[in-house]
Structure 1
Amino acid sequence: PALVEAVDGLHSDGEQVVAQYEPGEWGPEGRAWTARLEAEVLRVHWLAGIDAPPQETLLAAWERAEQQVEAYGDVPGLAAVRTTYATIQRAMGDVAGSRVTADKARTTAKRLGLQPLLDELRSLGATAVKQQQATSTSLTPRESEILTLVAAGRSNGEIGKQLFISTKTVSVHVSNILGKLGAGSRTEAAAIARRQQLIS
C-alpha cells in the first residue's frame, strides 16, 4: 500500500506537468513519457493487487507505451518497455505474443549491450509455458502458507526460520508454487495469487 501511494503521488506530479501544456504542444518525447508513466502506474496497481486494472486495460496501456516510445525513437527505452510488456503478456497467458515482443527487445538489448535487460529476458524465456490457471485447490496448505510469506517479501531463509524448515525445503516449495501458477518469478507468483484470491 505504501508503494502504491508513492506511485500515485508521482503520477499526480506527472499529470500536473502535462496540464501546463496546451493540447497539441506535447511533442513525441512528452507523449512517450506520458504513455510510459500511465502504463507503469497501472502495472504497479496490478502487481500490488490494489485497484488492479482489467487485463485488457493493462495490455492496451503497454501497447500504447511501446508505440509512443518507438515513435519518439528512444531505442534503449523501447527495449526496456518491450521487456516489461513481454513479461505482462506472458503473465496474462499470451505466450506467443510475449515471445514476439521479447525477441524484439532481445535483439536491441544484445546490440546495445544492455545486460540487465538480457538477464530479465533470459529469465522470461526460461519460464515454463502456462497451460492453465491455478486454482486454490492446486496448492497444498504448506504451499499456500509459503506463498503468503513470499508475497509479503520474505526470503527463503526468513521463511525457513519462521516455519522451522530448511531453506532448501523452502526453495523446493517455491519452485513447485511457481510451476503450479505458471509464474516466472516470485513477484509474478504473488501477483497471480492476489488476482486469483489464493492469498488474503
Structure 2
Amino acid sequence: DAALAAAQEAAALAPQLGPEGRTWLVRLQAERLRLRWLAGVDADRESLEDLWRRAVEGFGAYGEVYERARSQVRLAQVLLTSGRRQDAVSLVEDATATARRLGAQPLLDEAAALVPLRPDVRAEAQAVALTPREREVLSLVAEGRTNGEVAARLFISTKTASVHVSHILAKLGASSRTEAAAVARRDGLL
C-alpha cells in the first residue's frame, strides 16, 4: 500500500521529473507489480515485462549500470516463467558481466540462482568473489599447505589465515580444503 501511494504521488510529478526520476518511478512500479506477482495476486505478466524492460532501458540510458543489471535479472525472471529461456539467459549473462566488473557479489549470486551459468561464466563470477589475498591463500591451500604454513608464507597470523580459508570455503561452497582446491582447479581459479 505504501509503495502504491508513493507510486501514485510520484506519477503526479512525472511531467516534472527528468530521465533518472522517471526511471526510478518505473522501477518502483515494477517492484510493486513484481511483489504482487510473486505473492500470486493479480499481476499481469505482460505489464510486468514491459515495466522491467523500461527500467533496463532507462537505467542504461543514463549510465546506472548496477541498477540496469539488477533490472535485467528481474526481467529475466519474468521471461523464464514465460518459457523464453534464451532471452533470459542472454540478460543474465550480460548482468553477470556487469556485476563481475563491479564486484557485486549479491547480484552475481541472484543471477546464478536464476540461471545456472556456463562453466566459463561461473568461474569468472567466482573469481571476482575472491579477494586478491584470498586467491593467494587458495593457491597455497591447493598446494596442501596448513594454516600455519600459509601464515608464514604470507607474513600474516595463523588466525588471519584461518579466517581467509573459512571465507574461501564459504564463497566456493566447499566443505573442506581439499574440495576448495578441487573446485578451484575445475573452475580455473588457480
TM-score range, shorter chain: 0.5 to 0.7
Pick from 11, 30, 48 the counterpart of residue 39 of structure 1: 30
CA distance in 2, matches of 1:22, 1:118: 32
* Aligned partners of 2:14 and 2:22 also within 8 Å: no
- 1:16 maps to 9
- Secondary structure in structure 2 of the residue aligned to 1:11: helix
* Structure 2 portions without partners, runs of 5+: 118-190
Alignment of 1:1-200 (within 5 A): 8-19=1-12, 21=13, 23=15, 25-53=16-44, 55-126=45-116
- The alignment's TM-score, normalised by the length of structure 1, stands at 0.54
- 1:162 maps to none
Cα distance, 1:80 vs structure 2:
1.0
Cα distance, 1:26 vs structure 2:
1.1
CA distance in 1, matches of 2:78, 2:14: 33
Evaluate the alpha carbon distance shift between residue 22 and residue 83 of structure 1 in structure 2; reply closer, same or farther with a 3 A threshold. closer
Q: Which amino acid in structure 2 is aligned with residue 68 of structure 1?
A: G
Evaluate the alpha carbon distance shift between residue 119 and residue 93 of structure 1 in structure 2; reply closer, same or farther with a 3 A threshold. same
Cα distance, 1:72 vs structure 2:
2.4
* Aligned partners of 1:32 and 1:65 also within 8 Å: yes
Cα distance, 1:75 vs structure 2:
1.1
Residues 106-158 of structure 1: CA deviation (Å, up to 9, x unaligned): 1100000000111111122229xxxxxxxxxxxxxxxxxxxxxxxxxxxxxxx
Q: Which amino acid in structure 2 is aligned with residue 67 of structure 1?
A: E
CA distance in 1, matches of 2:75, 2:81: 10
Cα distance, 1:65 vs structure 2:
1.2
Evaluate the alpha carbon distance shift between residue 94 and residue 40 of structure 1 in structure 2; reply closer, same or farther with a 3 A threshold. same
Cα distance, 1:22 vs structure 2:
6.6
CA distance in 1, matches of 2:110, 2:10: 32
- The alignment's TM-score, normalised by the length of structure 2, stands at 0.57
CA distance in 2, matches of 1:87, 1:37: 17
User: Quick one: percent identity of the two aligned structures?
Assistant: 39
* Structure 1 portions without partners, runs of 5+: 1-7, 128-200
* Aligned partners of 1:32 and 1:72 also within 8 Å: no
Residues 170-200 of structure 1: CA deviation (Å, up to 9, x unaligned): xxxxxxxxxxxxxxxxxxxxxxxxxxxxxxx
Q: Which has the larger Rg?
A: 2
Evaluate the alpha carbon distance shift between residue 22 and residue 76 of structure 1 in structure 2; reply closer, same or farther with a 3 A threshold. closer
Q: Which amino acid in structure 2 is aligned with residue 78 of structure 1?
A: R
CA distance in 2, matches of 1:36, 1:75: 14
* Aligned partners of 1:45 and 1:51 also within 8 Å: yes
